[in-house]
Structure formats: C-alpha cells, structure tokens
Amino acid sequence: MNWKPTTLGRMLERVSRDYGDKIAVVTEDQRFTYSQLYRHVDEVARALLAQGIGKGHKVSVWLYNCPEWIFIQLALGRIGAVLVPVNTRFKARELGYTLKQSDSSLLITTDRFLGIDFSELVYETIPELGTAPAGGLVSAEFPELKKVICLGSDPVPSGMLGWEEFLGCGQRVEREVLEAREHDVSPEDVAMFQYTSGTTSFPKGVMLTHDGIIRDSASMGGRMSISHEDRLFCPLPFFHVGGAVISTLIALYYGATLVICRTYDPKTALQIVERERCTAMNGIETHFLMMYEHPDFTAHDVNSLEKGWAIGPPEVIRAVYERMGMKKILNVYGISEASPNVTTTRTDDPLEFRMLWHGKPHPGTEVRIIDFDTKRVLPPGHEGEICVRGWNVMKGYYKKPEETRAALDRDGWLRTGDSGLMDARGNLKFTGRIKDIVRVGGENVSAMEVENFLLTHPKVKNAAVIAVPDPRKTEVCMAVIQLKDGEEATEEEIIGYCKDRIANFKVPRYVRFVDEYPLTGSGKIQKFVLKERFGKL
C-alpha cells in the first residue's frame, strides 16, 4: 500500500465525495448516506466550535452505540480535538477518574441506558452541576470541565445542554471558520485517548494519532478484503478500540456500510445480519459464541457472512469458519497501545494456521520477541515478550511519563506485556499476558494455554485460569469454569480430565464454577475480581 498520511477529516471528505449516495451507517431504524453523514458531522463540528472546543481540547463521550457517536468522533477529528471514549459500564468513581485524568473540557452523555440513570451518576460525580446554569459549570474537582451535553432527554436534566440546543449553537459558526480549523489538523496530532480496559488496575490514557488509527484500519481492512460493496456488522461497543477504530474506521475508510446496534444481544444480532445481509462481522469470542450457540441460530439465514476478524481460542475460530460459514475469518493480535492491531492472518491461510497463529505485522511496522529476563532478542520458536515498533505505536500515556518510559524504549520499541513467539516466516503466535503467567514451582504456566485446553472438555463453555498462592510452589492454577447449559461437572472430573492430557504442573489445583463472569465493558473477564472472590483459600 502506497500510503499518504491523512486525518479523519480528510478521510471523511474523500469517502463522502466518492460514495456520496451510498449508505454509510445503518441502525435499527435509521440509514445515513455518506453525503448525509458528512452534513451531520459538519453540524456537530460547528456546534463544538461554538462551545469553545478547539485543537487539543478533550471531549469525553459516554454514550451507547448510535449515529451521534460517529458524528462526534469524526467532528472532533475535523477540528483537532481529542476523543475520550468512556465505558458505559462505568460508575461515578470511574467516570470521575476519566474526566479528571483526561482534562476533559466537555462531556457528552445520555440520560438513561439499559436501565442505568446516567444523569444521576453524572450528578454524583459532579455535584455542582445540579445547581449550575446550563453550560456554565464551575467545578473545583474538574477545573477543565465546562459543560455537559445530554442526548435524548426531554426535559433536559438541570445544568446540562440538550442535544438540539447544542446543535443550534453551531449555526452561528461560519463554515469558513470550520475549514480553517480543519486545515490546522495534522496526521500526527492525537485523535483519541483510548483508556486501557482496567482488567488489572486503573486505566491509562493511550494517545493515538489520526494517521495511526486510520492507517491501521486501512491495512487491516485490506487483509480482510473489505470493499465499498461490503456491509460490516459491528457488535463491539464504540468505547472499545475494536469498535471505534478497527470496525468503524475500516468500514468508513473503504466506503462500506457500517451496521450497528445499541447494545449486543445475540438474537438481535442474528436478526440484523439476516435483514441487512451483512457480509462481514468483527468481534471477540463472546459475540460469535453467543450467536452460534443461540437456540434460534439455525432459524436465521446468516449465509451472507464471509469475512471479518475474531479474537478467541482456536475452537471459536473453527466454529466461526464451519458453523457460521465465515471462510475468510481472520485471527488477529492487537493492543490499545498499537492503534490497536499489530498482526493479522490472511484470508488464504489454511484454517488450522488461522486457529493457532496471529499472522504477520503490517507493512512499515516490526515485531520482535525478547527474553523475559535478559531482554535479549530471541530467534524464531522461542517464547518471550512481544515488542512492536512502527507507525502504529502510541505517542505515550497521557500525563504518565514514568509508565510511558517503562513501555517505550529509546529506539521506539513498545513492550506489550504480552508473551508470544514467531516462526521463521515472521508470523506471530500470541500465547498470553505476561502478568497472566502462573509461576508454579519454577515453571511459567500460561493461563491462556490452560484455558484453551479446558475448552476442549465437552461440558465447558468458558474458562478463566487465575493464580492462587501455594506454600510449596509459590503459585498454582485455579480454573474458574462456566459450564454449557444443562451440564453438570465436579472439581474432580475437571482435574482428572486435565491430568490425563497436560503436564502436571499445568493442571489446575482447584476448580470453581460460575454462572457468569465479571466482565469489562469490552467483554474481557476481570480476573482481579475472580482473584478477590476465589483467591483467598
């Protein structure tokens, strides 16, 4: 790919010119052409300028998946402001942390979602808002935060500006002013802070550039064989980099149609794919597994699906290929700090390879493996820490210089904190989180390896392996298992199954059963919650 650095605004201008009458975004009850998308983004961009938002200002977006989310994302890009996605599962403490740590000047939210009173959580976070004039917030705790915009509420909660009033303010901003601001935006400017998922600690704000996220999406979309004829279904939340970047921007970059839903439900997802004849779908294992295991799966025609990316164990990749008919499904590896995709397989790779490996890095980027202890670069076939260098690497963590120095060395190599190995052809195999290593009597056991093995048990639906203390071996494995519907199993049965098939030091010492897991908003299992619940024996 002969790449020319670009910005979100320039990308939008190109696709709206080339595909103006084509459908860009589809929701449950709305459709927008690329020309309409451009006009809505223009309207939001001018409204943001009217509120005093400009280059470098941070805007937190605490919304469900909706067209307005996309309008805001692209509008912020046009004026050089920074998007700060906020997890819709956050409570007041987490919202407050994000607003303060990011120095957000504006919060755009809604009144209610999934039975959660967002307005109440906002007031709990920012008590002064309840008595402040609309658009006139003064907060000692959040000195940068000036206004809160509320989408979809009538009447508008006290102290907030309603969405329509917000848009109306933009009418007094001349288009020439917007064009001048847009001209000042550089491909190397920060487009968004992607906060890490918080599976182990408080999140860090990953600073990603315009060109990094667009080029990553373009390169990944090329591997997926995406074109303007595709209809891409995105079940991922937009606050997740997999939704906002390598789904939304993949579709928009290629002039494809992006099909979205407010929140993921497998029955609804099956209906959407069938109704819209979606040709592509991206997601994590939970999204796919819940669809093909749904009792109504065979009642829906999803034969239009053929391509996409998936994050999950080998058996999920196989099931997506065989049961859902997605013959071009790709296995991928990524990290928020790398815009986020690092490697992908290819559509013509054999299925067995795609199940076990995560493919090659994008052109212009590099991946290497270093020894966990000595940091020496390792040859093919040796497991160590995955390191990445190139245009997809973040600028750093916002206001966290020590953490940035720990992650990025002087030569530009990003230490991912993930373990893996490479083959002689330059393909990567991700083997787990380094912090997700259980140190059993001198042996390093990958929790992911044991989890993938446990999924071969016919009764096991999902598995999470955590480290628990042991007086003799320092740590041993505990398996926290979710059984398939209608199945029953005992601790002894699961341990016995493992003893016959994997090395003894990898066999879980303990097994616990759960009906569901504590999850982050992006669907990752929160292992620190499992450790708090089960780790004290």
pLDDT by residue for the chain (537 residues), tens only, comes to 789 999 999 999 999 999 999 999 999 999 999 999 999 999 999 999 999 999 999 999 999 999 999 999 999 999 999 999 998 888 888 899 999 999 999 999 999 998 899 999 999 999 999 999 998 999 999 999 999 999 998 899 999 999 999 999 999 999 999 999 999 999 999 999 999 854 445 679 999 999 999 999 999 999 999 999 999 999 999 999 999 999 999 999 999 999 999 999 999 999 999 999 999 999 998 899 999 999 999 999 999 999 999 998 899 999 999 999 999 999 999 999 999 999 999 999 999 999 999 999 999 999 999 999 899 999 999 999 999 999 999 999 999 999 999 999 999 999 999 999 999 999 999 998 887 889 887 677 889 889 999 999 999 999 999 999 988 788 999 999 999 999 999 999 999 999 988 888 899 999 999 999 998 877 889 999 999 999 888
Residue 106's domain spans which residues? 8-16+32-195
The answer to whether residues 189 and 304 belong to one domain is no
Instruction: Give the pairing of strands 460-470 and 474-483.
Output: antiparallel
Which residues are within 8 A (CB) of 429 and not within 5 positions of it... i.e. 6 or more apart?
356, 357, 358, 420, 421, 422, 423
Are 379 and 470 members of one domain? no
As a whole number of angstroms, the distance between CA 524 and CA 517 comes to 9
Of 177, 195, 213, the position where a domain reaches its end is 195
Whether the model clears a pTM of 0.85, i.e. scores above it, the answer is yes
- For residue 385, give the H/E element and its range: strand 384-390
Which of 391, 412, 433 corresponds to the end of one domain? 433
84 phi and psi angles, rounded to 5 deg: -120, 95
239: tokens are 């606050």
Answer whether residue 529 is part of any domain. Answer: yes
Measured CA to CA, the distance from residue 392 to residue 214 in angstroms comes to 10
What pLDDT does 200 receive? 47
CATH number, domain at 53? 3.40.50.980
Closest C-alpha to 220, from 351, 310, 287: 310
| Same domain membership, residue 64 and residue 191 | yes
In a domain, 85, yes or no: yes
Residue with tokens 């199993």: 489
Same domain, 475 and 519: yes
How many residues does the structure list for the chain? 537
Whether the Cβ atoms of residue 430 and residue 374 lie closer than 8 Å to each other: no
Distance CA 83, CA 364 (A): 26
- Quote the pLDDT of residue 202: 62
Same domain as 348, residue 407: yes
Q: Verify that 124 and 49 share a domain, yes or no.
A: yes
Task: Determine how β-strand 147-151 pairs with β-strand 161-162.
Answer: parallel
Give the CA distances from residue 178 to residues 48, 74, 171, 426, in Å, rounded to whole numbers and listed in that order.
Answer: 10, 13, 12, 45
Position 519: which residue type? L
Please check whether residue 245 lies inside any domain of the structure. no
Identify whether 295 is part of a domain.
yes
Q: Same domain for 345 and 460?
A: no
pLDDT, position 197: 57
User: Which of 415, 433, 451 marks a domain boundary?
Assistant: 433
Distance of CA 444 to the CA centre of its chain: 28
Residue 300 lies in a domain: yes
Domain presence at residue 27 = no
CATH code, domain carrying 453? 3.30.300.30
Contact, 450 vs 436, CB < 8 A? no
137 and 93 co-located in one domain: yes
- So what's the pLDDT on residue 442? 67
Q: At 222, which amino acid appears?
A: G
CA 116 to mean position of chain CA atoms: 22
Contact 432, 440 (CB under 8 A): no
β-sheet bridge partners, residue 233: 259, 281
**Judgement on whether residues 290 and 411 belong to the same structural domain of the protein:** yes
Both 393 and 477 in one domain: the answer is no
446 is written with which tokens?
A: 């990958």
Ramachandran angles phi, psi of 83, nearest 5°: -80, 130
Total domains, the chain: 3
223 falls within a domain? no
Q: Tokens 């230490």 sit at which residue?
A: 415
Residue 335, domain CATH: 3.40.50.12780
Classify 433 as helix, strand or coil.
strand
* Sign of the dihedral defined by the CA atoms of residues 407, 410, 414, 415, in that order: negative
Same domain as 283, residue 157 = no
User: Does residue 168 share a domain with residue 49?
Assistant: yes
CA-based radius of gyration for the chain:
23
Residue 227 lies in a domain: no
Count the Cβ atoms, other than its own, within 10 Å of residue 520. 17
